[in-house]
């Protein structure tokens, strides 16, 4: 019995940590396990769309309350929403919708950024390669841009063209 107590004293911290980890894992598993039927699985795109819709709705409500008509009547009554206010980033984006296909030799950074799989840095890289080459002769030359491989190129292949 004495040897057992000495062994236990030497390892008490390890034994306690093991027990705590085991118990906390068991409690977490029993108490916080979500029910699969209650879980809502949505793609990232669906989550972003919902967030943008909620933000757009909140922005419209704020614009309606903030704006007044010329007669000075109640805010939002008989007035045009957004009159006199700066357009939101979302409304600017909608106004500048990209018409596909885009000409690689004329496209702006913002237009290139709209391509699937292309962000601002890759869009700038496309412009840099375009400048270096003196213009693209084929859409396949996008494969020369660092960070654009065959899989990325296939995502937007039908959305780009070379103008005449």
Q: For residue 141, give the CATH number of its domain.
A: 1.10.150.320
User: Is residue 143 a part of any domain in this protein?
Assistant: yes
User: Is residue 83 a part of any domain in this protein?
Assistant: no
User: Is residue 81 a part of any domain in this protein?
Assistant: no
User: Is residue 34 a part of any domain in this protein?
Assistant: no
Q: Which residues of 40-61 are buried (b: 16+ CB within 10 A; e: fewer)?
A: eeeeeeeeeeeeeeeeeeebee
**Token pair of 158 as six digits:** 């039908």
Query: How much is the mean pLDDT over the chain?
Result: 75
**What integer is the mean pLDDT of 33-37?**
56
Domain range enclosing 149: 102-161
pLDDT at 77: 45
Q: Is the pLDDT of residue 140 over 80?
A: yes
- The structural domain count of the chain equals 2
Q: What is the DSSP letter of 103?
A: E
pLDDT at 70: 45
Residue 102 main-chain phi, psi, to 5 deg? -100, 150
**Token pair of 38 as six digits:** 């209650």
**What integer is the mean pLDDT of 112-139?**
93
User: Is residue 56 a part of any domain in this protein?
Assistant: no
Higher-confidence residue of 71 and 51: namely 51
User: Is residue 123 a part of any domain in this protein?
Assistant: yes
Q: Is the pLDDT of residue 100 over 60?
A: yes
pLDDT at 101: 92
């Amino acid at each position: 019995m004495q040897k057992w107590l000495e062994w236990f004293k030497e390892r008490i911290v390890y034994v306690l940590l093991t027990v705590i980890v085991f118990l906390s894992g068991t409690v977490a598993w029993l108490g916080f396990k979500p029910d699969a039927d209650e879980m809502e699985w949505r793609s990232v795109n669906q989550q972003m769309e919902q967030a943008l819709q909620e933000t757009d709705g909140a922005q419209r409500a704020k614009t309606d309350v903030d704006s007044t008509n010329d007669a000075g009547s109640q805010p939002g009554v008989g007035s045009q929403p957004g009159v006199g206010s700066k357009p939101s980033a979302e409304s600017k984006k909608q106004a500048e919708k990209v018409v596909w296909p885009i000409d690689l030799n004329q496209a702006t950074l913002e237009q290139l950024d709209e391509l699937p799989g292309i962000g601002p840095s890759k869009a700038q890289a496309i412009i840099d390669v375009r400048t270096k080459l003196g213009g693209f002769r084929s859409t396949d030359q996008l494969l020369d841009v660092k960070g654009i491989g065959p899989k990325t190129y296939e995502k937007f292949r039908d959305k780009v063209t070379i103008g005449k």
